[in-house]
A and B are shown apart, each in its own frame.
Chain A
Amino acid sequence: QKEVEQNSGPLSVPEGAIASLNCTYSDRGSQSFFWYRQYSGKSPELIMSIYSNGDKEDGRFTAQLNKASQYVSLLIRDSQPSDSATYLCAVSRRRDDKIIFGKGTRLHILP
């Protein structure tokens, strides 16, 4: 079983709609959860971090965590063409610990 699983996509979403990205993880001891955005040829950029169950909102982005289901999601409201990128889900077990990345989901916002 892979440690962090994501659908590779591509996920195509019309401009202005909500994009929903999902991620599951296998290690129940995971404490920190992250969503990174990576444009082609660039390094990852942190979008959201979440540490407790529930929703966390930041602008157009909402991260959702359900530790019982070992599930993390990212919602992007009012999707823009500039949101087209690969979104990486990542988890770590504890502070200063290494982060385990999923393979990423390619998101394509249709203008």
Chain B
Amino acid sequence: GAVVSQHPSWVICKSGTSVKIECRSLDFQATTMFWYRQFPKQSLMLMATSNEGSKATYEQGVEKDKFLINHASLTLSTLTVTSAHPEDSSFYICSTSHRVGETDTQYFGPGTRLTVL
């Protein structure tokens, strides 16, 4: 399957600081990337769809000004959690959509575990 990397794999920060998470598609160009959040023992919740060269599309209930997404190139999307608070502590996972023939499949990065103190 396609290779997707994320950096950092984990981060601990103080309340009120901002944290940037990078998602890279390593072996193909990704015009579309997705950002998910997963709280313990819960399912993946889509936060936003990141589109290269244009604004991200956010899901209902996700604050655009708090979760800044930038998709400046075909291989890199970033998610910045601004003014992070303890309730933002979660597992953040990105994915890319890769087309092979007539089918599209999403491949996930390894995730970033954010802990806000």
A46 lies within 8 A of B107 (CB):
yes
Tell yes or no: B83 within 8 A of A by CB.
no
A34 lies within 8 A of B111 (CB):
no
A103 lies within 8 A of B43 (CB):
yes
Central interface residue in A43, A96, A100, by most chain B CB within 10 Å = A43
A95 lies within 8 A of B104 (CB):
yes
Tell yes or no: B115 within 8 A of A by CB.
no
Chain B: how many interface residues by the 8 Å CB criterion? 24
B105 lies within 8 A of A49 (CB):
yes
A46 lies within 8 A of B110 (CB):
no
State whether A32 and B93 are in contact (beta carbons under 8 Å apart), knowing that A43-B111, A46-B1, A104-B43 are contacts in the complex: no
A104 to B40, CA, bound (A): 13
Among A41, A42, A44, A96, point to the contact of B104 (Cβ < 8 A).
A96
The residues in A between 78 and 111 inclusive whose CB is less than 8 angstroms from any CB of B are: 88, 92, 95-96, 98-104
Which partner residue on chain A sits nearest B4 by CB separation? Answer: A43
Tell yes or no: A27 within 8 A of B by CB.
no
B interface residues (Cβ-Cβ under 8 A, vs A)? 1, 31-32, 34, 42-44, 46, 49, 91, 93, 95, 97, 99, 103-111, 113
A interface residues (Cβ-Cβ under 8 A, vs B)? 32, 34, 36, 41-46, 49, 51, 88, 92, 95-96, 98-104
